[in-house]
A and B are shown apart, each in its own frame.
Chain A
Amino acid sequence: MAIECKNITFGYSKDNILFKNISFSVDYGERVGIVAKSGFGKSTLAKIIAGYEKPLSGEIIVDGKPITKKGYNPVQLIYQHPEKAINPMWKMEKVLLEENVLNDYIINSLGIKKEWLKRYPTELSGGELQRFSVARALCENTKFIIADEITTMVDPITQSQIWHFLIEECQKRNMGMIIVTHNMYLAEKICTRIINLEDMALE
């Protein structure tokens, strides 16, 4: 098993528990959809798996080892709100150079225009920024991608383009994916398996 979530419990304080004992695992090459109602804690869970947030209890195991803070994290999160995920003081070029993904193949496949590279994040639309967030996650050391509602702010054609590209990349590199979405039609198209967290919380 590649990523294992073991009994993850999270809350902002001991008496305000958001979710309890969430366990599942995702293998290489799998695309697992996560669904639950708004406010359940899907994004928080995504952050925990990517190592940005610490759970109250439970652990995340990647390839048999717990996540360490050292070095490049093979689990990359693509965030729901790109305007909050990109340093507002950096030009887009620098954002891509940081992850060493400034190559023509990725840029062209995602429809990133050369002139956008010279701009600051506030000068791009939400959909345009999200393409950068996707590109940034595709560093060659990435083994897992967590996609948290990454295409809710783009039009259906761009949504379809981004997903076709991401799925192709994942298959090519045998990456695993965890996909958070509210759109069941989309989930059925792109996921190999769907987990409903609300059912899991009831058990």
Chain B
Amino acid sequence: MKNIPEIEIENLSITFKIYEKGLIQKNIKTISNLCLKAYKGEILAVVGSSGSGKSLLAHAIMGILPKNATVTGSIKYKGSELTEKRIHNLRGKEICIIPQSVSYLDPLMKVGSQVMIKNNKSCFEKMRNAFKRYDLCENAEKLYPFQYSGGMARRALISTVEQTEPSVIIADEPTPGLDKQMAYKTMKYFRDFADKGKAVIIITHDIDIAVQYADKVSVFYGGTTLETTKAENFIKGEKYLCHPYTKALYNALPQNGFKPVEGFQPSPYDVFEGCIYYDRCDIRCEKCKENIPIYNFPDGSGFVRCINGY
């Protein structure tokens, strides 16, 4: 029997209420039927299309979605429901997020002082140690965000998780703007973190770097998970991946052929029956227009949402 996942998400849907024209409101569903599990001691890499709702997922876990969003389905932390009140007490302490945009830094505050959560000696020590680990010199503490490069700001954001001792870290694109060496160093740090018995969720487009450190990979497209698989399958090669989209993603990497795919991800305005990847898929058939079953892999390592199974 496998232990209880730290974060378990079942059938999550997120709907936004927006104004269309005048006072006419409209609901758009940005995430639908999403399933995800993050275990202790594991790194889960979330990859997939831009605008597929990866960041929204992170914000939904943290309970920081805007007011016009409605969340249905369940998000569990350590086996019990993560209610609004509960996440309010946990976020920033047990569950931490590393935000995606470097514009999350306060432009009017020196970077060193905004990284510290409290102005005391222990927070200062932690900040200084974290900065040292990420090659930010002491001088960098006293600079303002506009004097930082993209990569430096990214490293400052990453260093914020060392202020507390969280049991779950959600990193929303931690590696862009970092050179290869620094990106590997960051991933190594997440690996150490997971090895200490924490759960790490990394949202990323740097698939090639992430799969070398992650345990599992979850593939997102159009607001849902199409496949969850072992990270090593991405290293072994295309034929170990099941879903046609996952394969396309693999083949689009510069080192694997740099092959584009015709067409674009459907927008949340289009109401869909059947497979969300239908119109771009090479092996589509009539059956794909119906309900798509989920096939769990026999070894329990993941699943694929495709009529062709695994």
Contact with B along A161-203 (1 / 0, CB 8 A): 1011000000000000000001111101110000000000000
Complex CA gap A186/B152 in Å reads 22
The CA-CA distance from A42 to B267 in the complex, in Å, is: 35
> Closest CB-CB distance, B51 to chain A, in whole Å?
4
Within 8 Å of chain B (Cβ to Cβ): is A113? yes
**Inter-chain contact A43/B260, CB cutoff 8 Å:** no
With a CB–CB cut-off of 8 A, which chain A residues contact B101? 81, 83, 126
Q: How far is the CA of A139 from the CA of B183 in the complex (A)?
A: 35
Contact A182 B260 (CB under 8 A): no
Contact status of A149 and B150, CB under 8 A, knowing A126-B100, A155-B48, A160-B260: yes
Which A residues lie within 8 Å of B47 (CB)? 155
- In the complex with contacts A12-B147, A38-B152, A127-B50, A157-B252 CB distance below 8 A: yes
**How many residues of A are in contact with the other chain, CB < 8 A?**
43
Is the beta-carbon distance between A41 and B205 smaller than 8 angstroms? no
The answer to the question of A9 belonging to the interface, with a C-beta cut-off of 8 Å to chain B, is no
Taking Cβ atoms with an 8 Å cutoff, the residues of A that contact B are 12, 36-44, 80-81, 83-84, 111, 113, 115, 124-128, 149, 152-161, 163-164, 182-186, 188-190
| Measured CA separation A188–B173 after assembly (Å) | 23
List A contacts of B152 (CB < 8 A).
Answer: 38-39
Of A37, A183, A185, A189, the contact of B181 (CB 8 Å cutoff): A37
The answer, yes or no, to whether B253 is at the interface (CB within 8 Å) is yes
Does chain A have a CB within 8 A of B258? yes
Asked if A125 meets B51 with Cβ closer than 8 Å, knowing A38-B179, A83-B101, A161-B260, the reply is yes
CB B134 to nearest CB in A, in angstroms, measures: 10
The residue on A at minimum CB distance from B208 is A185
B254, A152: Cβ atoms closer than 8 Å: no
| Cβ distance B117 to chain A, nearest Cβ, rounded Å | 25
- CB of B15 within 8 Å of the partner chain: no
A-B contacts besides A149-B176, A185-B208, A185-B253, 11 pairs, CB < 8 Å: A38-B149, A39-B151, A80-B150, A84-B103, A152-B206, A156-B252, A160-B252, A160-B254, A161-B261, A183-B254, A189-B258
B177 adjacent to chain A (CB < 8 Å): yes
* Chain A contacts for B182, CB-based, 8 A: 37-38
* Residues of the B chain whose Cβ atoms lie less than 8 Å from the Cβ of A12: 147
The interface residues of chain B lying within 8 Å CB-to-CB of A182 are 177-180, 183
**Known: A81-B103, A182-B183. Contact between A128 and B150, CB under 8 A?**
no
- What are 5 residue pairs bridging A and B, where the CB atoms are less than 8 Å apart in the complex? A39-B151, A149-B176, A155-B52, A160-B261, A183-B254
B102 touches A157 (CB 8 A): no
A36 to B55 Cα, complex, angstroms: 29
A113 touches B249 (CB 8 A): no
Q: Which residue of B lies closest to A131 (CB)?
A: B50
What is the CB-to-nearest-CB distance from B19 to chain A, in angstroms, rounded to a whole number?
11
Q: Is B49 an interface residue (CB 8 A)?
A: yes
- B207 touches A (CB below 8 Å): yes
What chain A residues lie within 8 Å of B151 (beta carbons)? 38-39
Does B65 sit at the interface, judged by CB under 8 A?
no
Tell me the smallest distance from the CB of B122 to a CB of chain A, in Å. 28
Query: Bound state CA distance, A97 and B264, in angstroms?
Result: 23
Chain A, residue nearest B248 (CB): A157
Tell me, rounded to whole Å, the shortest Cβ–Cβ distance linking B214 to chain A: 16
Cβ B173 vs Cβ A157 within 8 A? no
Contact across chains for A186 and B205 when beta carbons are under 8 A apart = no
Residues of A within 8 A of B249 (CB): 155-157
In contact, B254 and A189 (Cβ under 8 angstroms): yes
Judge whether B205 and A152 touch: CB under 8 Å: yes
Contacts of B180 in A (CB 8 A): 182, 184
Interface centre among B101, B155, B269 (most CB of A within 10 A): B101
**Chain B residues near A190 (CB-CB < 8 A):** 254
Q: How many Å lie between the Cα of A189 and that of B259 in the bound state?
A: 11
Instruction: Write out the residue numbers on chain A whose beta carbons fall within 8 Å of the beta carbon of B205.
Output: 152-156, 159
B305 to chain A, nearest CB (A): 18
Question: Which of B155, B205, B267 has the most A CB atoms < 10 Å from its CB?
Answer: B205
Which residue on A lies nearest to B245, using beta carbons?
A157
Q: Tell me, in angstroms, the Cα distance from A156 to B267 when the chains sit together.
A: 19
Most buried by A among B100, B176, B206, B249: B176
